[in-house]
Amino acid sequence: MQDVQTPVTNNMKSKIILLGTLMFFSFITLQAQVNFGIKAGPTFTTWRGDATGSMNEMIDATNGILKTQGKTGFFAGLSATIPLGGIVSIEPAVLYAQKGYQLSGDYSIDKLDFVGINASAKVNSHYIDIPLLLKVEPSKGFQVFAGPQVSFLVQSDMKVDAGALGFSFFKRTMDISDQMNSIDVGLTGGLGYQFTNGFSVSASYDHGLNRLDKNENFKAYNQAFKVGVGFNF
């Protein structure tokens, strides 16, 4: 009688990685003096890779009628600062973050500008980011940080809208979560300043390393800039 093996799905892999990460954070927390904090702020995201290159070629062919744009969203979550001695510490965090990309266009005809034909397609993705940062404070308050980040996709949808004369004659939202990779592993790093009253400010860049398309039909990767404010208790 042959053994029946259950395949490990991407969802199972996500849960295993998340459980391992939480266990690692819990172990470190028990071994060190930890300062917990909260942080939040806007995100400015886009995609990079061959897919965006193809879009740019299409945009050139339309003489600028079509335009690609990044997506503005926000992030928020919890963090923990764990001193390692001297000016070095590590900072694990669990953050909700909005990411995405959009393509839009406006077309006008000579003497018929009032028609105002327009269309847009926006990808809105919701992630749980878990960065593990190595933080160095070379001078009082000033901080430099970098490290790996694992992101888990919660939901992704595409909103398509087209209209004319100020009216929308086609509007649809499609769930594309099953076409996207559920895990995005990347790198993150940036600068920050910690005030003596517990408040902090930071600016960081996220560089995704995993393809977004699960079927690998195109190469596109997440790219995000975050500006945040925080408070350590």
- Does residue 57 sit within a domain? yes
- Does residue 60 sit within a domain? yes
pTM: 0.77
pLDDT band, residue 94 (cuts 50/70/90): very high
Amino acid found at 190: G
What gap in Å lies between CA 54 and CA 12, rounded to an integer? 34
Q: What is the pLDDT of residue 107?
A: 52
- Does residue 1 sit within a domain? no
The size of the chain, in residues, is: 233
User: Which phi and psi angles does 5 have, rounded to 5°?
Assistant: -100, 135
Cβ-based neighbour number of residue 45 at 10 Å: 24
Evaluate whether 79 touches 38 at the Cβ level (below 8 Å): yes
- Does residue 15 sit within a domain? no
- Does residue 9 sit within a domain? no
**Could you tell me the residue range of the domain that residue 218 belongs to?**
33-232
Q: Is 110 exposed, middle or buried (0-12, 13-18, 19+ CB in 10 A)?
A: exposed
- Does residue 103 sit within a domain? yes
Q: What is the pLDDT of residue 112?
A: 41
Task: Encode pLDDT of 42-51 as tens digits.
Answer: 999 988 876 5
Domain total in the chain: 1
CATH of the domain at 144: 2.40.160.20
- Mean pLDDT check: name the lowest of 28-32, 68-72, 209-213: 28-32
Indicate if the pLDDT at residue 202 is higher than 70: yes
- Does residue 175 sit within a domain? yes
- Does residue 5 sit within a domain? no
